[in-house]
Amino acid sequence: MCQPFSSITPEIYSLLYSKKDYKSEFDLLCSYMSQPVQFGNVLEAGAGTGTFTSLMKPYSQSITCIEPSPQMASYLLKRFSSEKIRVENTSIEDYLDVCDFDFDTFVAYFNVLNYIRPANLSKLITRLASYTSKPLHCLFDLWSLEYVMEQPKEGSTIIKFPSPGSLSNSPQITRFASSVFNNDDESLSILFTFNSGQEELFTETHIIYPTNLSKLKDNLKKLDPHCIIEPIACSQDSAAKNMYSFCRNWLVSFTISP
């Protein structure tokens, strides 16, 4: 399967989410942490262009960014040349096979874990639980199965934004999204087509695996009776309101004790 984010350059990704209010979302996430906020040694899955990483940095001892897209990973390496931040160009599943686990916080923010199958998510949580030798606070967001089922099985959404820098020949780039729900494995395939004027720039296919949140909660309660799964309103500008990713995210917060 083609890896998502293989065509999206960091430049285009930054443009797409230039109006996303990461700071408010970060503050919201911090409200799920013990106060005063200290992330300690962080394992961050799917760091993307590192916006969340940079917000966590002042509150962290170290951050290990896991990013499977080679383009995003090399962008992260250039962006953060600090000893505090390490970048690994791999998936979170593969990284857990090889890491020396010494983390206080696991973060995967903005639809990262929807790219892995729910069964693999359960395995990932089991592995986090078996590795940690100290309390590990896990914070991530997910789409629910119910929400994905509500999505149009076919349809499209258009996002327009100004394109500066090397994309400045075109007044704007348009992103078309059309989705197909696959009943067999309950996945949602989203085909994104990026156009500049009349010209098609590239396409990307993203396969999202929605999670059955009540099942997840039952499993998490065995690890942490106080686990939290609750809806969060992710901020976006009104033009992007209908986009696939944002409106109905659920925040998952729990602590694994060794």
Binding site for ligand SAM (CB under 6 A): 4-5, 45-48, 51-52, 66-69, 72, 91-93, 109-112, 115-116
Cβ-based nearer residue to ligand SAM, 170 or 193: 193
Q: How far is the CB of 72 from ligand SAM (least distance, A)?
A: 5
CA atoms lying within 13 Å on the CB side of residue 8: 25
Buried b (16+ CB within 10 A) or exposed e, 210-222: bbebeebeeebee
Cβ-based nearer residue to ligand SAM, 68 or 220: 68
Q: How far is the CB of 103 from ligand SAM (least distance, A)?
A: 15
Cβ-based nearer residue to ligand SAM, 68 or 210: 68
Q: How far is the CB of 194 from ligand SAM (least distance, A)?
A: 15
Cβ-based nearer residue to ligand SAM, 92 or 142: 92
Q: How far is the CB of 22 from ligand SAM (least distance, A)?
A: 7
Nearest to residue 215, comparing CAs of 247, 250, 190? 250
Sort 119 into a burial class: Cβ within 10 Å, 0-12 / 13-18 / 19+.
Answer: exposed
Q: How far is the CB of 42 from ligand SAM (least distance, A)?
A: 12
Sort 43 into a burial class: Cβ within 10 Å, 0-12 / 13-18 / 19+.
Answer: buried
Q: Return the SS3 of 238.
A: helix
Cβ-based nearer residue to ligand SAM, 66 or 256: 66
